[in-house]
Structure 1
Amino acid sequence: MATLTAASLTSCGGGGDKSDAPQADPSEAFTPAEQEEEVVPDTWPLTGIQVADGETAAKKHPILVTKIDNTVSASPQAGLGEADLVVEELVEGGLTRLAVFFYSQIPDNAGPVRSMRASDIGIVPSEHATVVTSGAADVTIRRISDAGIPFIQEGGPGMYRDSSRNAPYNLMVHLNDTAKSFKQKAVRPADYLPWGDGSDLPKGKKATTLAASFSGGHSTQWEFDGDHYVNTNSNAAPDDQFPADTVLALQVQVGDAGYLDPAGNKVPETKFEGQGQAWLFHNGRVIRATWHKDSLTSTLSLDFKGQTLTLPAGHTWIELVPAGPRNVTWQK
């Protein structure tokens, strides 16, 4: 992973956090040891989709996990249409934030970029990934750094302020510039999820609409249109929607991160490890399963009545929903 160096930059997410924060230095990025006759899998690590002829899944940049605001104030979100995978997580005030994963495609523009949370330790891959963020509170910076997760914040390659947007929702990133700033040997990250072709999926039940409720004030809603799942209350532009082939809703435990935001709200921390209930929505049907993750850095696995499931190759949106009754609902 990239080397962390000290820099004094101003964060602009999560209520104007400020810190003297270690930064990912793209010029000193991790370079894996030379391997003889290394065979690079011919599928993308974040989707399981086979690469096109003449392409390779080994890139000269890491996975760029970009923290993007998910409120009406962020409209229109930019870049989601070119993302490989999205994880939605709870933040303070009952709202949510997106960890948007870019690798097979890198958009020119993405954002609005906001701050990290300790929850990201269980979301961001432990190797070959860098967080693109506005910054974070000091306690979060320390925990992210202790976890060995590199990040780039405001002032880093590609970051800029869009004068047509209101602060703090105006920090954007030319993500192509960020990707080009890395100097490393081409490497393919490990698969983020256990990918398959869908042949092992149980029939499940018909489910053409669903809702993932994070709080009394926010529920993310989806509708299957016969091809993809459409986020019907998305903050992205109509032509920049995430093309979800699968929505994976996971009930998780949520704790207290141990500090308050500037408005006095407790900051929640998603515990993305252990096990819990899972709902896999694919092709207009739902399969109820159990998810397992031995540690924050482990790969997720899914179990259905003793059978290990794979995720159908494609674009997946993961909802990390607080555990509770009727937090994941659907209709035929």
Structure 2
Amino acid sequence: MGTGRGARTRRGAAARALLTTLMTAALAAGCTASGGPIDDGRGPAAPSARERLPDGADVRPVLAVKIDNTPAARPHTGVDAADVVYVEQVEGGLSRLVAVYATRLPESVGPVRSARESDLELLRQFDRPVLAFSGAQGKLLPLIDRAPLEGVTPESSSGAYVRGTDRSAPHNLYLRPERLMADPPGGAALTTGFRFGRPPAGGEPKDALTVRYPAARTTFTWSDADDRWLVSLDGVPATTTEGERLAPATVVVQYVTVRRSGYRDFLGNNTPYTETVGSGEATVLRGGRAYEARWSRLSAEDGTSFTTGDGERMTFARGQVWVVYAQAA
């Protein structure tokens, strides 16, 4: 392998060629039609998340994947490898997942589904994340194009997606993460605001907790044997395609405002908008105990901090974190 200035020049040329190819594909597949919502202040368009810096160092974004969570989409693939899993309400009172990957990349993730307006605010806390999604409502696409993230769809990066044969569309679209990034970006990319460490004092013993949406429910049951919270979705144990139980180390039930947005699905159902900037109450589950906490996120660029009733920082157990957004009372 060449070294010195010549090698750096060749690497720079290759990186520029790759960036040009990616940008051309994105422009060809993107939606630039006028008539959508005005810019909501979430920031200017970002350069490609895979752009190279002048010295050849990589910009290291997290990978976020929008995942179907209807019964027809289960069991999920690759969700157990995520560092953080967000659960949010969508049309018809159903739920969807946003899985965020930083420390490891699974071979496959899915089923992949469409993005929502709330995702843009949620993901702004990360530095130019890659968002894998199957598409979006037509009027939302210009907003996604302007957001500081890199959207990756089957139209813009067809080689990164495959269709499974074990279930029907639209519940059979899967992402191959290694076709987007060679290596995971590492834990430093997780700018969530979460703090990990020994449990705080207090808390109440808790065996199980259920969060209900109008047409979906998520239950977490403590397992001493696994030292984890076992997930059930709509009353059915949630497993991977290999049969392993989904089991985060920490669960956060974050009470937020869920309001109507300016978008509807093809059936005319309004899309809920989940406000993740602000402050409010939360329940944190770790180690078989429940802790009442406060959450605060000052702006979309910030992560979310959690504090206990006495004002101390709430600490999470090391391992996967699930954050479930529930309507505040």
Shorter-chain TM-score range:
0.7 to 0.9
Q: Which residue of 2 aligns with 1:197?
A: 197
Output the amino acid matched with 1:87.
Answer: Y
- Give the whole-Å Cα distance in 1 for the aligned partners of 2:53 and 2:188: 11
- How large is the Cα RMSD of the aligned pairs? 2.9
Check if 1:263 corresponds to 2:267. Answer: yes
The TM-score normalised by the length of structure 1 is 0.77
Q: CA deviation at 1:257?
A: 1.8
Instruction: Give the distance between the partners of 1:160 and 1:253, measured in 2 at CA.
Output: 36
Deviation at 1:102, TM superposition (A): 1.6
1:139-218 mapped onto 2 (5 Å cutoff): 139-155=139-155, 156=157, 157-180=159-182, 188-199=188-199, 201-215=200-214, 217-218=215-216
- The residue number in structure 1 matching 2:279 is 275
Match of 1:224 in 2: 222
- Specify the structure having the higher radius of gyration (Cα): 2
Structure 1 distance, partners of 2:285, 2:165, is 39
CA distance 1:261–1:29, change in 2 (3 Å): same
Query: For each residue in 1:8-30, what CA deviation from the matched residue of structure 2 results, as whole angstroms up to 9, or x when unmatched?
Result: 279xxxxxxxxxxxx9996x723
1:33 Cα deviation from its structure 2 partner: 6.4
TM-score between the two structures when normalised by the length of structure 2: 0.78
Distance in structure 1 (CA, Å) of the matches to 2:101 and 2:190: 14
- Given that residues 46 and 147 in structure 2 are in contact (C-alpha distance below 8 angstroms), is that contact kept between their aligned partners in structure 1? no
Q: Distance in 2 between matches of 1:115 and 1:185?
A: 24
Q: Deviations over 1:246-272 (max 9, x none)?
A: 001100101222121111111111011
Q: Once structures 1 and 2 are overlaid, which stretch shifts more, 185-194 or 113-122?
A: 185-194
Identity %: 26
The residue that corresponds to 1:70 in the other structure is 69
**Secondary structure of the corresponding residue to residue 302 of structure 1:** strand
Equivalent position of 1:250 in the other structure: 254
Distance 1:185 1:76, change over 3 A: closer
Q: What amino acid maps onto 2:122 in structure 1?
A: I
Equivalent residue of 2:313, what SS?
strand
**Pair 187,320 (structure 1): closer, same or farther in 2 beyond 3 Å:** closer
Q: 1:307: Cα distance to partner? A: 2.1
Note the C-alpha offset of 1:101: 1.1
User: Structure 1 residue 176: deviation in Å?
Assistant: 1.9
Distance 1:187 1:96 in 2: 27
Structure 1: 5+ residue stretches without partners: 11-22, 36-57, 325-332
**Given that residues 115 and 135 in structure 1 are in contact (C-alpha distance below 8 angstroms), is that contact kept between their aligned partners in structure 2?**
yes
Are 2:311 and 1:312 aligned? no
Aligned pair count? 284
**8 A Cα contact 2:230 2:248, kept in partner:** yes
- Secondary structure of 1:143's partner? helix
Kindly state the Cα deviation for residue 185 of structure 1 after the two structures are TM-superposed: 9.7
> Using the alignment, how far apart are the partners of 1:82 and 1:30 within structure 2?
25
1:8 is matched with which residue: 4, 26, 29?
Answer: 29
